[in-house]
């Protein structure tokens, strides 16, 4: 049951958290990952949490207990390679930062240019770069909302819907909220973070803009929220083990070829600013996700979009790695057999 990513891309932290299932497909359970062992937190914590949301609901109280459990090597646990690794958390809400990596947006805008655009690629890049610099000065992030039903596990196959004409990848740093967060200032925002994980925000580029409703703009429901379009995990790594979230390397390979390889330093708005901004307009709850945007190197930039059989592997510094295989719709697979 163990995958190459589980063997070679474990998080570097003393411990991490996840959601797991035994080989007999029993109930999913929240687990504490220490090396190659997983401790079932339903039995190890006095509160007997049934999922990771319950662990996060009492994060400040539970975190010291997790430290104690991780240091106690006498407790029995499951072998990690005998478990199925599920998405670490099933959030109530997903907030997604759009256009948050400077070079990524420049590349996308150039790739989306109309065939009759009179500007040269260099002129277009310069104009979009000026827009991004203005956005940074104005300090107004762009955030939209995703659906929890799009989440899948870090090693699960992802079905590419038949209607998705241009499926693409977007590896992102995902923030996991650790307490109720409302109207916080940027200086205090990181105090509200439980930890970090990896998300791949798959997007059908053909559905992003509605040609029948150009004045409305983007259609994030259709382009980003198909079942399985958000591979998440493998684990939640506590914030104290991650260091500066503004200085992590985000790397995605497609069939072994590096496509994205950029630092979170390229973000226009950092984690703290995004949380503070969102919290002015909405309440964030423990376990909620903030996806921080994706760096340059998506498929539209390379002229190579996702297709049946493709394998994406994504890593972020200290957070481990995920491995996702793309498959054709079930009906199409059946007709090909």
Q: Is residue 110 part of a domain?
A: no
Beta bridge partners of 321: 315
As given in the structure block, the two tokens for residue 116 are 């009759």
Q: What integer is the mean pLDDT of 85-102?
A: 95
Same domain flag for 165 and 30:
no
Residue 214 has a CB neighbour count (10 Å cut-off) of 8
Q: What is the rounded CA–CA span in Å between residue 316 and residue 111?
A: 26
Nearest to 197 by CA among 104, 321, 79, 38: 321
Q: What integer is the mean pLDDT of 145-171?
A: 97
Same domain flag for 151 and 243:
yes
pLDDT at 12 > cutoff 60: yes
Q: What is the pLDDT of residue 272?
A: 98
pLDDT at 90 > cutoff 70: yes
pLDDT at 336 > cutoff 70: no
Residue 33's pLDDT band (cuts 50, 70, 90): very high
DSSP count for the chain of H helices, then E strands: 11, 20
Same domain flag for 12 and 157:
no
Same domain flag for 72 and 215:
no
Q: Is residue 109 part of a domain?
A: no
Q: What is the pLDDT of residue 7?
A: 41
Please check whether residue 186 is in contact with residue 273, taking contact to mean a CB–CB distance below 8 angstroms: yes
Tens-digit pLDDT profile for residues 219-268: 999 999 999 999 999 999 999 999 999 999 999 999 999 999 999 999 99
Q: Which domain holds residue 275?
A: 94-101+141-336
Same domain flag for 238 and 307:
yes
- Give the domain CATH number at 313: 3.90.850.10
């Amino acid at each position: 049951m163990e995958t190459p990513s589980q063997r070679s891309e474990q998080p570097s932290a003393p411990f991490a958290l996840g959601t797991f299932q035994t080989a007999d497909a029993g109930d999913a359970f929240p687990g504490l990952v220490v090396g190659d062992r997983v401790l079932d937190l339903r039995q190890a914590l006095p509160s007997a949490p049934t999922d990771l949301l319950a662990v996060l609901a009492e994060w400040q109280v539970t975190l010291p207990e997790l430290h104690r459990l991780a240091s106690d090597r006498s407790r029995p646990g499951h072998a990690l390679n005998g478990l199925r690794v599920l998405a670490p958390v099933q959030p109530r809400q997903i907030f997604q930062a759009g256009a948050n990596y400077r070079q990524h947006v420049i590349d996308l805008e150039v790739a989306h240019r109309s065939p009759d655009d009179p500007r040269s690629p260099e002129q277009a890049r310069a104009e979009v770069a000026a827009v991004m610099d203005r956005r940074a000065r104005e300090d107004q992030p762009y955030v939209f909302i995703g659906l929890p039903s799009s989440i899948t596990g870090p090693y699960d196959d992802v079905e590419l819907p038949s209607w998705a004409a241009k499926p693409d990848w977007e590896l992102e740093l995902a923030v996991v909220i650790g307490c109720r967060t409302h109207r916080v200032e940027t200086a205090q925002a990181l105090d509200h973070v439980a930890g970090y994980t990896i998300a791949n925000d798959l997007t059908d580029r053909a559905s992003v803009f509605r040609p029948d409703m150009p004045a409305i703009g983007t259609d994030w429901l259709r382009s980003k929220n198909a079942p399985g379009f958000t591979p998440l995990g493998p684990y939640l790594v506590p914030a104290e083990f991650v260091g500066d979230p503004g200085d992590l390397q985000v790397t995605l390979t497609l069939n072994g070829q590096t496509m994205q390889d950029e630092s979170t330093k390229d973000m226009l708005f950092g984690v703290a600013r995004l949380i503070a901004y969102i919290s002015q307009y909405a309440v964030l709850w423990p376990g909620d996700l903030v996806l921080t945007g994706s760096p340059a190197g998506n498929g539209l930039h390379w002229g190579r979009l996702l297709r049946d059989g493709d394998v994406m592997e994504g890593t972020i510094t200290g957070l481990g790695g995920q491995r996702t295989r793309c498959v054709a719709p079930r009906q199409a697979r059946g007709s090909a057999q």
